[in-house]
Structure formats: structure tokens, C-alpha cells
């Protein structure tokens, strides 16, 4: 008997449909199952889990030789999500229920030996794929993944199952599908769960830089002594970024779903991600990779914030792999099996000490470093990488008055309101359908059109180029930052004070 159904496998962060064909020939003695179609070890081992689960559920396994084919045969199938669909196809082949009920279903789930169904990774991209397939009308997933699958309601019938028996009841129409009320909704972020800027004393210049960064999507590096508040400032960045759009929410949630990082009660991320990998992170851990390439920290920070504390302590080779992602917003990983592209449009916040001992320029402590040591320390960060960071900000240690002051600081909500207003200006400028979502993403055409400088400002920028030895990339980034400062001020044109402030944020470009 020939029967079949559908499931999905992951290639990068996208799901690809897999047709599961089962041919129970009945020839031979005993039970003999062969799985073909480039299965990995987890898929090959599934036949033992499936056999135990079928017996535990009181179902009969087809006798004799049974062939299970996973098509297309030239794509490697990985993971345990094929357990449930293969088990259902085998049960149908043994006469448990009509095979026609499987024909329009996509099924995912791992089976335990007692026939219970466990959660799997990548349900969100699989559900979005099922929604696009005209021949799929039913989606069956583990109960722990139900909220992810509910994102496709009301387009498909979605069933959340806890056991193999539940799945059969769903196919037979005895189990109620999820209702439209269970569908995922795009909610405002939980701002209360993000640390607030009102808790940060002093550091007005650093806060201003972060406001500019949030308003225009610019990268920032903080240079300051230990204890000056660099990490504290970075951790509050998510609280002043505008809420994610529906498109950004789906993009980001898919990446977290692929890695199994979405909690059962959180089908879609409500706030922009904040990732802070340790400086011992490997190249693959940062940008992604592995035998079966998976997203790294920069992709987990997609549409959010990537914070690299103690930047010179990272391996130089690890930092250098950031250059292309910072420029293009995506990372390409090539393997013998093919190339994988992961999105990684993140806002970088880096922090470093001014010298190895950390006290250069500190009013309370004396620096013990020699000039050569300071040069070698800063040389760990290459010029091309610094070129890709828009705002270089000196963060000084707080004075006694600032430390003991009880004056309330401005809240994240107030700063966020100004950033949202500036982003709205940019959305109207570039259009909602444009690939350019903020000033930091402007290309040469947009720079020419929206960053026009009058002769006086051209003279000013020429002087800065000669004085600081700025590269062409640094020049473009000054224009982008000046455009953002003008947007925050509500100005249609870039004025002298806007350009002057933008040039001031190139501290590490200054000679000497």
C-alpha cells in the first residue's frame, strides 16, 4: 500500500517542503523499515522511536518490508520533526485510518517511546511555508509549538497535539483545531521589561549619541574607563528603539524559531533582541556556521542590538568577519552542500577602555601604560572596522556631584518618542516599500539626493577630511549621521550645527 503526507526541513532559516512517501509491500517476514532520501542519523534512528510509539498507542506497524522515501532526494533531511508524519503514514498504511486524510496535511513532531509528542525547532518557518502551499489545508504540530503555528490562522486548520493518538483524532475530525483567538498578534513591546535610561546618572553626551544611533540605525563605539557606565548604557538601547514592524517581527522570530529559542508562550518576539556574546566567542559562534550551518549571534541580533563589550579582547580574526555583515546586513556561509545566507541587520554597540589599564584620561586614577602599549592596544581594532562604526563616543568617569546627585534623568519613553518621530520622517522620505528603512542604510543615490551640502558646509567637511585623514567610507557615514541629527531637529536640510556634531563623533579617526 502506498500512502504519503508532507513535512518540512530547514535550509538556513527557511523551510523546504518534504513529501513523505510510504510503500508497505507486505513482502518478507517481521518488520523491516528502510528510510531513503538523504536522512541524517536522527532521521535514520526515528524508525526505532516510531515502532515503540506505535505499539504504545495500540497501533499496528505494517508487516514485512516498508520503504519510506523523503522527497526531494537531493536535499539532506535533518532533525526529529519527521517522527510524527512518518508514524502517521505507517499507521495509515497498516489500515488505522484512510490515507486520503494525510494528503493535504503538513505534520511536524518528535515522538517519545510512549507515543507522546515533543516540541521541535523551526515550526514558525514551516508554518509560513505551509501557508504558501495551495495543496496544504491542515497543519499538525506539537502542543508546545502551537503558538508558533497559530501565526498562520485562519488560513489553515491548525491542530496542537500531545500524543500520536491526538494526531489521529485530528486527522479523523475528532479533535478541535485551534481557534482564531489563538493566533499570534503583533503586540507592543514589553517596555517595562527593559532597563530604563532614567536609571543612568550623568553621561549626557553618551545618551545623545545613543539617541542619534536609535533614530538613524547607526553603529556606536564607547571609549571610556572601567565603571563609567558603558555597559549600563548599552543594555538600555533596546528601550529607545522604535517597535518592530510586522515584517521585522516575522524575520527575527523565524531566526529564533530555527534555533529553538522561542518560548512556548511567545510565538513572536515582542521587543528587539539584545545579544551580548562574550569575547571568547568563536568565528562560527558569532557569524554562524557548522557542518549544517546555523545562524550565529549577529543573526540572533537581527533587527536589534549586538553589544560587544571589551572590543579589543575579541580575536582580531573574529572582529574582521564583521566587516561584510556590517556593510550588507547579511552573511553568506559557503559549504560543500551549498551557500547559506542569514540576515543580520543589527545595530552594533561596542565598548572599550582607552588603554590596557583603562585609566587613560581618568581624573581619579593615573594611567600606567606606555604610549607604545596604548598604540598596540588600539591597533587590535582595524581601521576598516572602525570606518564602519558611525559614532565614536568618549565616555568619561562620573564626577562626585554626578554620582551623589538625586536629580531624575530623562526616561527611555521620552527619548524613544523622539526616535520614533525621526524614523517616521525617514519612512516618508524613502517610502514604506523601499529597502532603505533608515538613514544608516542609505546608498550613494540617497546620499546624493538627501545629504546636499552648501558651499560653506563643503569647506567644513573638506577641512575635516584633511585634518582627520578620513576615508571615503567615513565621509559617507558622517553625512548619514548629519542627516539623522537634522531629522531629530525637524530640519529638511543639513545645517552647520548638524554637520559639526556629526564630525565630532569621529574621535578615533583623529591623528595622534
Read off the CATH number of the domain in which 144 is found. 3.30.230.10
Residue 511, domain member (yes or no):
no
Q: How many CB atoms lie within 10 A of CB 11?
A: 17
Which residue did the predictor score with more confidence, 305 or 328? 305
Assess whether 209 and 255 both reside in one domain: yes
Which residue did the predictor score with more confidence, 476 or 508? 476
Note the pLDDT of residue 182: 65
Percent of the chain at pLDDT exceeding 70: 96
Assess whether 47 and 166 both reside in one domain: yes
Choose the final residue of a domain: 386, 418, 435: 435
Residue 505, domain member (yes or no):
no
Confidence band (pLDDT; 50, 70, 90) for 511? very low
Assess whether 316 and 380 both reside in one domain: yes
Which residues are paired to 295 by β-bridges? 288
Rounded Cα distance between 134 and 136, Å, is 6
For the segment 249-274, the average pLDDT, to the nearest whole number, is 87
Note the pLDDT of residue 406: 65
Assess whether 123 and 266 both reside in one domain: no
Record the cell numbers describing residue 139, joined without a space.
497543519
Q: Which contiguous run of DSSP H or E holds residue 427?
A: helix 412-430
Percent of the chain at pLDDT exceeding 90: 56
pLDDT tens-digit readout, 158-198: 999 999 999 999 998 899 998 876 655 556 677 777 888 98
Domain that holds residue 30: 2-182
Which residue did the predictor score with more confidence, 267 or 386? 386
Note the pLDDT of residue 186: 59
Rounded Cα distance between 249 and 273, Å, is 10
Asked if the model's pLDDT at residue 105 lies above 90, the reply is yes
Beta strands per DSSP E along 154-249: 157-161, 220-223
- Lowest-confidence range among 121-125, 308-312, 404-408? 404-408
- Burial per residue of 159-195, b for 16 or more beta-carbon CB atoms within 10 angstroms, e otherwise: bbbebbbbbbbbbeeebebbeeeebbeeeebebeebb
Q: For residues 171 and 102, is the Cβ–Cβ distance under 8 A? A: yes
Assess whether 219 and 287 both reside in one domain: yes
pLDDT tens-digit readout, 199-215: 888 888 999 999 999 99
Q: What is the DSSP letter of 38?
A: S
Assess whether 278 and 349 both reside in one domain: yes
Confidence band (pLDDT; 50, 70, 90) for 512? very low
Place of cell 491542515: 138
Residue 291, domain member (yes or no):
yes
For residue 379, count CB atoms less than 10 angstroms from its CB and return exposed for 0-12, middle for 13-18, buried for 19 or more: exposed
Asked if the model's pLDDT at residue 52 lies above 70, the reply is yes
Note the pLDDT of residue 366: 86
Assess whether 202 and 259 both reside in one domain: yes
Average pLDDT of every residue of the chain: 89
Query: How many domains does one find in the chain?
Result: 2
Residue 123, domain member (yes or no):
yes
Domain containing 372 — which CATH number?
A: 3.40.50.300
Q: How many CB atoms lie within 10 A of CB 442?
A: 24
Confidence band (pLDDT; 50, 70, 90) for 296? very high
Residue 503, domain member (yes or no):
no
Note the pLDDT of residue 435: 83
For the segment 214-229, the average pLDDT, to the nearest whole number, is 93
For the segment 312-322, the average pLDDT, to the nearest whole number, is 91
Segment of 101-105, 361-365, 483-487 carrying the highest mean pLDDT: 483-487
pLDDT tens-digit readout, 389-410: 999 999 988 777 777 776 778 9
Which residue did the predictor score with more confidence, 221 or 396? 221
Asked if the model's pLDDT at residue 335 lies above 80, the reply is no
Assess whether 176 and 195 both reside in one domain: no
Place of cell 485530528: 170
Residue 39, domain member (yes or no):
yes
Residue 464, domain member (yes or no):
no
Name the pTM for this structure: 0.88
Amino acid at each position: 500500500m502506498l500512502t504519503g503526507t508532507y513535512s518540512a526541513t530547514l535550509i538556513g532559516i527557511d523551510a523546504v517542503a518534504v513529501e513523505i512517501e510510504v510503500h508497505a509491500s507486505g513482502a518478507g517476514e517481521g518488520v523491516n523499515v528502510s528510510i531513503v532520501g538523504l536522512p541524517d542519523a536522527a532521521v535514520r534512528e526515528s524508525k526505532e522511536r516510531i515502532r515503540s510509539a506505535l505499539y504504545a498507542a495500540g497501533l499496528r506497524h505494517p508487516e514485512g518490508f516498508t520503504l519510506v522515501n523523503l522527497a526531494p532526494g537531493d536535499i539532506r533531511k535533518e532533525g526529529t520533526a519527521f517522527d510524527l508524519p512518518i508514524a502517521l503514514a505507517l499507521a495509515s498504511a497498516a489500515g488505522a485510518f484512510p490515507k486520503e486524510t494525510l494528503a493535504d496535511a503538513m505534520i511536524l513532531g518528535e515522538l517519545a517511546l510512549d507515543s507522546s509528542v515533543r516540541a521541535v525547532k523551526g515550526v514558525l518557518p514551516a508554518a509560513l511555508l505551509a501557508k504558501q502551499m495551495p495543496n496544504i489545508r491542515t497543519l499538525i504540530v506539537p502542543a508546545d509549538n502551537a503558538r508558533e503555528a497559530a501565526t498562520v490562522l485562519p488560513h489553515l486548520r491548525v491542530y496542537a497535539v500531545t500524543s500520536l493518538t491526538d494526531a489521529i483524532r485530528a486527522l479523523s475530525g475528532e479533535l478541535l483545531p485551534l481557534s482564531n483567538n489563538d493566533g499570534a498578534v503583533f503586540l507592543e513591546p514589553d517596555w517595562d521589561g527593559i532597563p530604563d535610561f532614567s536609571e543612568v546618572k550623568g553621561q549626557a553626551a553618551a545618551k545623545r549619541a545613543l539617541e542619534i544611533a536609535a533614530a538613524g540605525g547607526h553603529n556606536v563605539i564607547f571609549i571610556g574607563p572601567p565603571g563609567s557606565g558603558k555597559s549600563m548604557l548599552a543594555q538600555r538601547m533596546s528601550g529607545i528603539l522604535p517597535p518592530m514592524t510586522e515584517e521585522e517581527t516575522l524575520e527575527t522570530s523565524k531566526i529564533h524559531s530555527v534555533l529553538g529559542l522561542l518560548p512556548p508562550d511567545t510565538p513572536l518576539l515582542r521587543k528587539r533582541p539584545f545579544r551580548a556574546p562574550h569575547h571568547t566567542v568563536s568565528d562560527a559562534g558569532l557569524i554562524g556556521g557548522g557542518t549544517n550551518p546555523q545562524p550565529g549571534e549577529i543573526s540572533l541580533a537581527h533587527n536589534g542590538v549586538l553589544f560587544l563589550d571589551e572590543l579589543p579582547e575579541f580575536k582580531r580574526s573574529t572582529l574582521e568577519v564583521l566587516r561584510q555583515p556590517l556593510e550588507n546586513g547579511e552573511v553568506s556561509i559557503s559549504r560543500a552542500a551549498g551557500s547559506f545566507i542569514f540576515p543580520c541587520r543589527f545595530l552594533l554597540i561596542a565598548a572599550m577602555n582607552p588603554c590596557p589599564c583603562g585609566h587613560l584620561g581618568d581624573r581619579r586614577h593615573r594611567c600606567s601604560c606606555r604610549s607604545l602599549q596604548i598604540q598596540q592596544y588600539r591597533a587590535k581594532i582595524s581601521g576598516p572596522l572602525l570606518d564602519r562604526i558611525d559614532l565614536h563616543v568618549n565616555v568619561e568617569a562620573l564626577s562626585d556631584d554626578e554620582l551623589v546627585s538625586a536629580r531624575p534623568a530623562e526616561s527611555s519613553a521620552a527619548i524613544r518618542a523622539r526616535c520614533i518621530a525621526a524614523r517616521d520622517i525617514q519612512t516618508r522620505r524613502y517610502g514604506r516599500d523601499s529597502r532603505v528603512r533608515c538613514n544608516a542604510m542609505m546608498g550613494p543615490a540617497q546620499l546624493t539626493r538627501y545629504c546636499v551640502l552648501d558651499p560653506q558646509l563643503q569647506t567644513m567637511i573638506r577641512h575635516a577630511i584633511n585634518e582627520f585623514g578620513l576615508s571615503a567610507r567615513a565621509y559617507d557615514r558622517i553625512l548619514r549621521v548629519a542627516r539623522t541629527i537634522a531629522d531629530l531637529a525637524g530640519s529638511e536640510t543639513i545645517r552647520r550645527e548638524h554637520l559639526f556634531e556629526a564630525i565630532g563623533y569621529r574621535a578615533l579617526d583623529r591623528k595622534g
